[in-house]
Amino acid sequence: MSNQYQAIEMEMISWKDEIGDKIRSLFRKTGELEFKFAKEAITEADRAVERMITDKIKAAYPDDAVAGEEFGLTEGTSGRTWYLDPVDGTLNFALGLPNFCSSIALMEGDEILATMVYQPLHEECFTAIKGGGARLNGKTIHVSKRATLGDAILSLQLQKGGRFVQNANLLQALVMESMKMRRFGTIALEMAYLADGRYDGIVAGRGKPQAIHDVAPGILLVQEAGGRISDHLGKPYIPGSTDLIGTNGHFHDEMIDLIVTHERARGELVD
């Protein structure tokens, strides 16, 4: 395990109590719903927590850039960038539903170096560092061992413009071929659950590129817990991809084959 990345992991963990205190203090106290672009909810908690985390990053790593969901990019000179989603699952948070988290990823170029996903109501802190495994509250975690799609519990993170909604036959096939489906509306937390073996797979599709701050924290968690991440064709996931498929690795190819078959039948793929 890299001592450099381990120190970064410990630094992130040192922030979680203040993050949790701020989020819990505002939970169920957000007032009337407010929406930004694309009908995405936003609350004062999003703004307050992003300011807090940005200040902590700049205090600890003044040369790093910070890219937050709410306030955009704060420049740096190191070549590293921290991606923040202060409250992933904001609509849940605003509605008083408990499925949300705060998520952080440190990247250099397209390489994810360290991540944290923190669920403050349950006080569950998921962390991972490149080459150093994934942990929940300091204890090593691993993906599940379910071996087939038919035995798998999947998380669906779908948007109206994405292929899995636009291709009804594909969506029906995923529902029918898997054992169970769930959708909490917080992709970072659901990928953390995949890393911890609670889910066996995740399907995330939208009609535009996935936001880095949404997926980067979970990608490293899943990979370091022994899982597999790709795009919908089974190719390595790269920033800017519109679709993300994550599994425990055991039935990944089976799920990709199902997707490819239905996309080809729809005329989306050409041999």
Domains of the chain by residue range: 3-140, 149-265
- Supply the CATH classification number for the domain 149-265: 3.40.190.80
Prediction pTM value: 0.93
Which of helix, strand or coil describes residue 123? coil
Q: What residues contact 103, with CB distance under 8 A and at least 6 apart?
A: 84, 85, 88, 115, 116, 117, 118, 188, 189, 213, 214, 217, 218
- Identify whether the C-beta of residue 20 lies closer than 8 Å to the C-beta of residue 116: no
Is 3-140 assigned to CATH 3.30.540.10?
yes
Give the whole-angstrom CA distance, residue 107 versus residue 45. Answer: 24
HSE of 108, CA atoms in CB hemisphere, 13 A: 11
| Predicted confidence (pLDDT) per residue in 146-205, tens digit | 999 999 999 998 877 778 877 888 889 999 999 999 999 999 999 999 999 999 999 998
| Predicted confidence (pLDDT) per residue in 101-158, tens digit | 999 999 999 999 999 999 999 999 999 999 999 999 999 999 999 999 999 999 998 8
Give the whole-angstrom CA distance, residue 41 versus residue 28. Answer: 14
- Identify whether the C-beta of residue 36 lies closer than 8 Å to the C-beta of residue 87: no
* 33 pLDDT more than 70: no
| Both tokens assigned to 259 | 């997707």
